[in-house]
Amino acid sequence: MNEGSNSASSISAVGERDRSGSLPWPVLVPLLTGLAALTVYLLTMAPDLTWANFGSDGGELITASITSGIAHPPGYPTYVLLGKIAALLPVGTMAWRFNFFSAVSAATAVAFVTAAAQQVLKGGAKHQVAAAAAGLCVAFAPLFWGQALISEVYSLNSAFLAILLWSLLDGRSPFLSGILLGLAITTHLSSLIMLPLVLVLTTYKRLLPLIGGLLIGLLPLLTLPFLAQTGSPVIWGDPSTFRGWLWLVSGRIYYANLRLPESSAALPKFIQLSKTLFQQWLWIGWMFVVPGMTSRLLPKRVTTALTATALVYFLYGFFYQTEDVAVYLPQVLILFSPLLAAGFSRTGPWSLILPLFLLLFNYQALNLHQDQAVRPLAEDILSSAPDQAILITPGDQSIFTLWYFHYVEGMRDDITLVDENLFAFDWYREQLSELHPHLTGLIEDDLETFKERNSQERSVCEVEADLAGLANCYP
């Protein structure tokens, strides 16, 4: 039998061993851990639309879901479709419902991180506590916790990644693992990094069902051409053609961000990203990850694959040149969580001290329960705009926020929103022409001509980047 078969057999044996143990602990411990995380998330969750924790995309994602549209590349169809379920909640603002969607997704990830950790350990009360402690360390890591409180795709992506990790370590069907990998990719393209790990932990004879499951998991991407026909005001690109669909799902617009940092910035960025990662577990947690790497609770091949995949995620954050690269670090924590659990295996109840410290140390800094700063800014902008005005926004944060309040909450249905950055795309100007037939000057990428021609019939106002007010209105 080859090494891949031995690894798969070892993982499967761990799963069988845990499933034969005394019930209901294998189910109850992850459930209670997830509920504990959800309780904390609900106490600290933002009550409304927020820009906190790199959350400026929230307005666009909610609007795309409510109007059956297509968010920025790669479109996030799984988030858009599942968000419709969250929208049915009969409580709170629509933004609150989507924040709740993130909280539930993150709590689900925590539960399955705990379940994955159980597969590393041998069972028994001491090891059940160690598994729960590993799950709670992920739950209360500031970057993971922060994403659970806002409307973003990362908590849903973490949920699929955590379930996938559990599926692999528990020796579940490769067909299931393929579906989970595909769904994770549809929630964020960075999940492609998981493919080598999945292949390493899947024997050659099981590749066919894995591929079949992967294709099924990717099916949400095929809904994009249909979503493009809904008339939503949020439709990026033109996926009605194969070329347009490929441009969208590949995220080609962001390829330029994947590059080496400037030579003068490379070392500071590496140090800062490393520091941020180690701070997630107050540095102390990594002292347990190291012995977890050398323990015999996991086959060496599995430990190596988990570590290598986590390193690739870290390097992806290093080479991806955007301000929010830290949001890729929670995936590193998920991958290291089985090793953390292995390191906790000898500490028993004492392992709960670290997640307790994380909870107490981060609670106040992460608490968004009173965060309602965005709504007054948007309301002032919209209320001060002249009748029938055209508002020109200067980029993502401003246009995404106003999209939400205008299209989802129905504020000022007489105005027209136009973004100066998106104006450069032919598909965007074509959509503006279809949505707003009264607009002229949309044939060419010439924003000044557009302003001049349309200001003859309506007031054209420029919105400040931080939504502090209207910078100019003419005539």
Does residue 438 share a domain with residue 295? no
- pLDDT tens digit sequence for 28-45: 999 999 999 999 999 999
Does residue 305 share a domain with residue 445? no
Does residue 7 share a domain with residue 69? yes
pLDDT at 406 over 90: yes
Structure tokens at 20: 């034969």
Does residue 416 share a domain with residue 280? no
pLDDT at 17 over 50: no
Does residue 405 share a domain with residue 281? no
| Domain of 387, in residue numbers | 374-474
Predicted confidence band of residue 11 (pLDDT cuts 50, 70, 90): low
How many structural domains is the chain composed of? 2
What percent of the chain is predicted at pLDDT more than 70? 95
Q: Which of 366, 401, 423 is the last residue of a domain?
A: 366
Does residue 359 share a domain with residue 379? no
Q: pLDDT averaged over the chain? A: 93
CB-based contact 460:473 (threshold 8 Å): yes
- pLDDT tens digit sequence for 336-358: 999 999 999 989 899 999 999 99
- pLDDT tens digit sequence for 100-150: 999 999 999 999 999 999 999 877 788 899 999 999 999 999 999 999 999
The values of phi and psi at residue 82, to 5°, are -70, -30
Q: Which of 324, 341, 366 is the last residue of a domain?
A: 366
pLDDT at 7 over 70: no
Does residue 379 share a domain with residue 343? no
Does residue 398 share a domain with residue 355? no
Angle, CA 426 vertex, CA 423 and CA 432 arms, to 5° = 60
Give the whole-angstrom CA distance, residue 339 versus residue 328.
Answer: 19
Number of H helices, E strands in the chain: 22, 4
Largest CA distance in the chain: 79
- pLDDT tens digit sequence for 77-93: 999 999 999 999 999 99
Give the whole-angstrom CA distance, residue 94 versus residue 63.
Answer: 10
Question: What is the DSSP pairing of strand 460-463 with strand 470-474?
Answer: antiparallel
Does residue 185 share a domain with residue 135? yes
For the ranges 12-16, 139-143, 181-185, 212-216, which has the lowest average pLDDT?
Answer: 12-16
CB-based contact 138:337 (threshold 8 Å): yes
Mean pLDDT of all residues in 287-303: 93
Does residue 391 share a domain with residue 333? no
pLDDT at 22 over 70: no
pLDDT at 181 over 70: yes
